[in-house]
Amino acid sequence: MGKKYFIKTFGCQMNFNDSERIRGILKSMGYEPTDNWMEADLILLNTCTVREKPDHKVLSHLGEYKKIKEKNPNAIIGVAGCLAQRAGWELVQKAPVIDLMFSSFNMHHLPELINQAQAGYKAIALLDEPPEDEDKLWEYDTVRDNKYCAYVTVMKGCDKNCTYCVVPKTRGKERSRSLESILDEVKRLVDDGVKEIHLLGQNVTAWGKDFEKPLRFSDLLYEVSKIDGVKRIRFTTGHPSDFTDDIIEAMAEIPQVCNALHLPFQAGSDRILKLMDRGYTKEEYIEKIEKIKDRIKDIALSTDIIVGFPTETEDDFLHTLDVVERVKFEQIFSFKFSPRPGTPAYDMEGQVPDEVKRDRMERLLNLQKKIMGEICKRYEGTVQEVLLEDTENGNKLIGRSTTNKWVSVEGGKELLGKIVKVKIEKSSPYNMSGEVVEVMA
């Protein structure tokens, strides 16, 4: 019997893609996946530490998973990801049950680390910086659950140092993956039946700047679009300061680039944006959005917002609401400010009480609900392009529109993996349904 692994992933899409890569490494070692952690020989938690809540979740899961040792004393419990990188040693002390630890810097060392842990040693491998040989990681394929849409990491780390954010500490400085390596993976994915490529990085718009001969992110979009079989391209996340006109042009020109853009603005007040060190003002952000809307018709915008950053006043917060009101995002991801150890905002004076954060969050969500109600009605009667990616109960299929909305239609399995035109009949804030009027590709 082959060995089995169970993996649980927290956090962002980058972390999710890291888990897909870890699964590829484990597959190459002969491990098979299981959904039941009690029958696993290896339990791995791929962690996030961007806010306090995910930190707590990891500890409570470890408390539960340690029961595996009663049944299988040789089972290995491992922790990977951003919490390991930020506070690994502290975590091992709190949870001695951990046998194995590594971060996004050294995922490619996993085979040796597992061997060490199996030999009975604690394999805790935390590095201050990414090692020279980290590109070895790309030699492994990913293991994915979605047959038609795939993430491709193009950029690691972040050089921005927003004052609230722990990511530059957990993922290191910006490193662009080489063009050849990216295109090579895209080709393999397309050969495997993938239609939609989602380029990933904490700050993808900085891609290529660190090459000896610098390239631009827009160059990457054109190159990926030239590969036969790439029907759709998405990317996450862009930073407003690096979101240059050439990227807007590329989005408008390349037919495969989806009609959606996630561009976090975090806060509306110029004073708070400065304290956050975001590098733009409210009006500069809005101007950029106007330019994008002018050039790309009906683009669906989404964003991230933090409420209750230290010293945020009611007046500052009203500027955040004003941006939401003016831009009309199709989706917002909003977070209460969470002080992260080791970041400048951690012990800034003027921390905002939790009840104020909660109140602001609620008002923000209510405003967004109202806006969504208006936006979603506009979809009714329109025709949307949808990539059908899964079945839904009975005779239904679901997929995402290029504007990143879930759409359900009636249809048989032969339509799976196809891009179809759908006439939208019903539209609610988070999903839509309609009738297939044309099968495209």
Positions that interact with ligand SF4 (CB under 6 A): 158, 160-162, 165, 167-168, 202-203, 239
CA-CA distances (angstroms) from residue 206 to 154, 317, 381? 10, 29, 38
Among 25, 114, 167, 199, binds ligand SAH (CB under 6 A): 167
- Using CA atoms, how far residue 65 sits from 9, 76, 394, in Å, is 14, 10, 35
Q: Print the binding letters for residues 152-191 with ligand F3S: x by CB under 6 A, - otherwise.
A: --------------xx--xx--------------------
- How many other C-beta atoms lie within 10 A of the C-beta of residue 272? 22
Choose the one of ligand F3S, ligand SAH, ligand SF4, none that binds residue 168, judging by a C-beta under 5 to 8 angstroms depending on kind: ligand SF4
> Residues 50, 123, 152, 407: which binds ligand F3S (CB under 6 A)?
50
Binding mask 4-43 for ligand F3S (x = CB under 6 A): -------xx-xx----------------------------
Strand order in the sheet with 232-236: 149-153, 196-200, 232-236
In the complex with ligand SF4, the residue whose CB is nearer, 331 or 408, is 331
The answer to whether 214 and 185 are in contact (CB under 8 A) is: no
The answer to whether 49 contacts ligand F3S (rule: CB under 6 A) is: yes
Which residue carries 């495997």 as its tokens? 192
User: Closest CB to ligand F3S among 15 and 218?
Assistant: 15
Q: How far is the CB of 305 from ligand F3S (least distance, A)?
A: 15
Q: Binding residue for ligand SAH (CB under 6 A) from 46, 266, 302, 403?
A: 266
How many CB atoms within 10 Å of residue 337? Answer: 22
82 vs 149, beta carbon nearer ligand F3S: 82
* Helix, strand and coil in the chain, % to nearest 5: 40, 25, 35
Cis amide linkage into residue 382, ω under 30° from 0? no
Closest contact distance (angstroms) between CB of 11 and ligand SAH is: 9
Number of residues that bind ligand SAH (CB under 6 A): 18
CA 97 – CA 77 distance, rounded (Å):
7
Nearer Cβ to ligand SF4 (18/99): 18
Pick from 171, 197, 201: which is nearest to 185 by CA?
197
Q: Among 151, 207, 337, 379, which residue sits at the site for ligand SAH (rule: CB under 6 A)?
A: 337
337 binds, among ligand SF4, ligand SAH, ligand F3S, none (CB under 5 to 8 A by kind): ligand SAH
Q: Is 338 in the site for ligand SAH (CB under 6 A)?
A: yes
**301 phi, psi to nearest 5 deg:** -100, 145
Return the residue of 16, 138, 335, 406 that touches ligand SAH, per CB under 6 A.
335
CA torsion through residues 72, 75, 81, 82, sign = positive
Tokens of 129: 């910086």
Closer residue to ligand SF4, CB minimum distance, 240 or 411: 240
Contacts with 184 (C-beta within 8 Å, 6 or more apart), sequence order: 138
Minimum CB distance to ligand SF4, residue 287 (Å):
20
Enumerate residues 6+ apart whose C-beta is below 8 A from 130: 105, 106, 156, 157, 172, 175
* Interface positions with ligand SAH (CB under 6 A): 50-51, 158, 164-165, 167, 202-203, 237, 239, 264, 266, 304, 306, 335, 337-338, 340
* Interface positions with ligand F3S (CB under 6 A): 11-12, 14-15, 48-50, 81-82, 166-167, 170-171
